[in-house]
Amino acid sequence: MGLTIAQKIIKNHLVSGDMTPGSEIGLKIDQTLTQDATGTMAYLQFEAMGLPRVKTELSVAYIDHNTLQSGFENADDHRFIQTCARKRGVRFSRPGNGICHQVHLERFSVPGKTLIGSDSHTPTCGGMGMLAMGAGGLDVAVAMGGGTYYIPMPKMVRINLTGKLQPWTAAKDIILEVLRIMTVKGGVGKIVEYAGEGVKTLSVPERATITNMGAELGATTSIFPSDETTRAFLQAQGREKDWIALSSDPDAVYDEEYTIDLNTLTPMIAQPHMPDEVVKVSEIAGMKINQVCIGSCTNSSLFDMLKVAEILRGKTVHPDVSLAIAPGSKQVLNMLAANGALAAMIDAGARILESACGPCIGMGQAPGSAGISLRTFNRNFKGRSGTADAGIYLVSPETAAVSAITGVLTDPRDLGEAPVITMPTAFTVNDNMIELPYTPEEAVTHEIEYGPNIKEVPKGHELENTIDKKVVLKVGDNITTDHIMPAGAKILPFRSNVPHLSNFCFTVCDKDFPERCKAMGGGFIVGGQNYGQGSSREHAALVPLYLGVRAVLVKSFSRMHKANLINSGILPLTFVNPDDYDTIDEQDELILADIRAAIDGGDTVVVKNVTKGLEYTVSTDFSQRQREILAAGGCLNYIAKQK
């Protein structure tokens, strides 16, 4: 039986386990990346392990999230990451060099290699034929130290692309269609692989847009073949030596298959407040809009920016619309400036932002009260923009640019002839904003600098035999890490200060949660399906740990959040009977008796609801490694025991 692209890479990097779907496998990791919203914690964890130097082929620290410096906190974190990177052998991408995924795609992605990053959109580099996965910061720190990265062996999904995109339709419309078909939980435990004749018609930036938003499917990752298109992109970046051909075998077997006819695809839009609330633009066209934001790691490539510039050329942004554009990297911004495209954007009235995540992570450009914002981003969770009652819609750059001119949501096909953009045969390459680390000899004489906002990493304690606590919070389905640990300009500067960060935990759902949780001495959280979807941010586990949360009982977890809970020493328990969820209320007293024995070897354990006189069976189906981590009270404690 033949292998898929992902299976080939997994087989070449397999350290432990077997490739049976659902069983735990350990992978050798070639590359890692971090960004500053999660990177400070990742490097604090690396330091806690006491290792002198990273052991990966390549590790890069990017500054792209917390670039709004309204106080000393972000700048201090950047200095800590920079000095840590210098000393520990990590390349440092300075503020202004660009968004981690865009820069990594341009300068470091290599077909056939493995990459994990402390950001859920690391699968962007799957557009280059990498096995690129988002992970918690501690998993990244372990990989930087030469450790193995563990995941459940995913199932394989094949999406056949036939035909060719018609004028005014875009790669963003393809992934929005995939989200419409599969939903935000349809990719959990799966790798999505793209195939078919339509793949050959897509450039690497277009492919990267699609793999980037595969994160919204809940997928482990998404991947494209490495072909002559990939080779041409690497050649244009001066990196043709990194190219290898990579494709699935003709007799590869997939667990699911879907087909999308690009010839018939039309412009699509995701409505509030989930990326899978997708309809055709034509179905809701005419809606008045207040803001348009173009950029993010999804749609900030030179290819996208040139299309936007041509649409805006000679026109003026509607007076009722604020248009903000953030090119994805210094390379993109330089080339836009050199060829006149940037001038066309500015002349039309666009507000040019720095090459960073910006509005996508809630770092500025919050819409007005009850505002309607069209964004080329990847997430439209409620409140993520910084305005709780805003309506955030996800669209392609074409739809965004055309609508910015008209002042209403507009099907771009109504504008007439679409601009035709060709990829350059050579990009402007200048890596002067990527700082190389010290040699081991130089590193000895330099120290890492810590700011006053940087606090210690919270650690759990060894698992007790019985946990008797109350339910401190009950939430519904599709709870995101933005619900658990919000982002935004007011909160992100405290990512290295968990005690202060705890004041914001779950406040999107319940403003009284932090104080109630502290007063009750922690307890249980109960949730629905797809709990913890979204960002890889491990703060959504570390902060509940700090607040005393001992276990989370849900119908189902997202992959990354479940791993982060285990790493933090919080029990992630799944209802065997999902209907049991309906019988639990906040403040119910729950008892987990003999939990240590269940973790040591059982597949289930009984939870007693003392308040209701009920019992529930929950799954403790963990790998042996995960059992040992939970028993130790978290991964850092587990690592310390191994020494």
351-392 pLDDT, tens digit each: 999 999 989 988 888 899 999 999 999 999 888 888 889 999
CB contact burial 284-299 (16+ within 10 A = b; e otherwise): ebebebbbbbbbbbbb
- Tell me whether residue 217 is in a domain: yes
Same domain? 58 vs 127: yes
Calculated CA dihedral for residues 381, 399, 292, 282, nearest 10 degrees: -70
Omega before 273 within 30 of 0, i.e. cis? yes
- Tell me whether residue 281 is in a domain: yes
Please, which residues bridge with residue 598 across strands?
none
Average pLDDT of the segment spanning 10-15 = 98
Give me the long-range contacts of 415-418 (CB less than 8 A, separation at least 24): 415/168, 415/311, 417/167, 418/167, 418/168
431-474 pLDDT, tens digit each: 999 999 999 999 999 999 999 999 888 888 899 999 999 999 99
Same domain? 188 vs 327: no
- Tell me whether residue 352 is in a domain: yes
Helices 624-632, 635-642: crossing angle, 10 deg rounding: 100
Quote the pLDDT of residue 492.
84
Closest of 96, 109, 86, 104 to residue 64, by C-alpha: 96
Quote the pLDDT of residue 491.
86
Quote the pLDDT of residue 26.
97
Angstrom distance (rounded) from CA 440 to CA 539:
31
User: Tokens 């500025």 — which residue?
Assistant: 364
CB neighbours (10 Å) of residue 418? 18
- Tell me whether residue 228 is in a domain: yes
CB contact burial 14-34 (16+ within 10 A = b; e otherwise): beebeeeeeebbbbbbbbbbb
- Tell me whether residue 309 is in a domain: yes
CATH number of the structural domain spanning residue 164: 3.30.499.10
Average pLDDT of the segment spanning 178-190 = 95
Q: Is the pLDDT of residue 186 over 80?
A: yes
At 191 the three-state DSSP class reads strand
Same domain? 113 vs 233: yes
**Average model confidence (pLDDT) for the chain?**
95
| 544, containing H or E segment | helix 539-547
Same domain? 474 vs 618: yes
Angstrom distance (rounded) from CA 139 to CA 177:
32
Same domain? 390 vs 494: no
461-470 pLDDT, tens digit each: 899 999 999 9
- Tell me whether residue 314 is in a domain: yes
Angstrom distance (rounded) from CA 203 to CA 205:
6
Q: What is the CA radius of gyration of the chain?
A: 24
Same domain? 257 vs 275: no
Same domain? 274 vs 256: no
- Tell me whether residue 444 is in a domain: no
Q: Is the pLDDT of residue 6 over 90?
A: yes
- Decide: 302 and 233 in contact? Cβ < 8 Å: no
302-311 pLDDT, tens digit each: 999 999 999 9
Same domain? 233 vs 303: no
Beta-carbon contacts of 568 under 8 Å, excluding residues fewer than 6 positions away, are 458, 460, 538, 541, 542, 544, 545, 634, 635
Q: Of 212, 238, 261, which residue constitutes the final position of a domain?
A: 261
Same domain? 145 vs 183: yes
Closest of 100, 103, 126 to residue 114, by C-alpha: 126
Same domain? 103 vs 127: yes
At 258 the three-state DSSP class reads strand
Q: Are strands 549-554 and 604-609 parallel, antiparallel or unpaired?
A: unpaired
Quote the pLDDT of residue 643.
66
Angstrom distance (rounded) from CA 214 to CA 276:
11
Angstrom distance (rounded) from CA 166 to CA 265:
8
Average pLDDT of the segment spanning 134-162 = 96
Quote the pLDDT of residue 364.
86
Range of the domain at 554: 467-642
Please, which residues bridge with residue 557 across strands?
531
- Total domains, the chain: 3
Q: Cα separations (Å) of 504 from 102, 390, 526, 562?
A: 30, 20, 19, 21
494-512 pLDDT, tens digit each: 888 999 999 999 999 999 9
Q: Of 261, 287, 322, which residue constitutes the final position of a domain?
A: 261
Angstrom distance (rounded) from CA 230 to CA 220:
22
Q: Is the pLDDT of residue 334 over 80?
A: yes
Closest of 538, 358, 567, 495 to residue 81, by C-alpha: 495
526-549 pLDDT, tens digit each: 999 999 988 878 899 999 999 999
| 80, containing H or E segment | helix 72-88
Same domain? 502 vs 383: no
CB neighbours (10 Å) of residue 430? 11
- Tell me whether residue 420 is in a domain: no
Same domain? 186 vs 303: no
Calculate ∠ Cα 185-631-583, nearest 5°. Answer: 50
Average pLDDT of the segment spanning 112-127 = 97
CATH number of the structural domain spanning residue 576: 3.20.19.10
Q: Of 232, 261, 290, which residue constitutes the final position of a domain?
A: 261
> Cα-flanking dihedrals φ and ψ of residue 455, to 5°?
-110, 170
CB neighbours (10 Å) of residue 338? 10
Calculate ∠ Cα 619-589-560, nearest 5°. Answer: 40
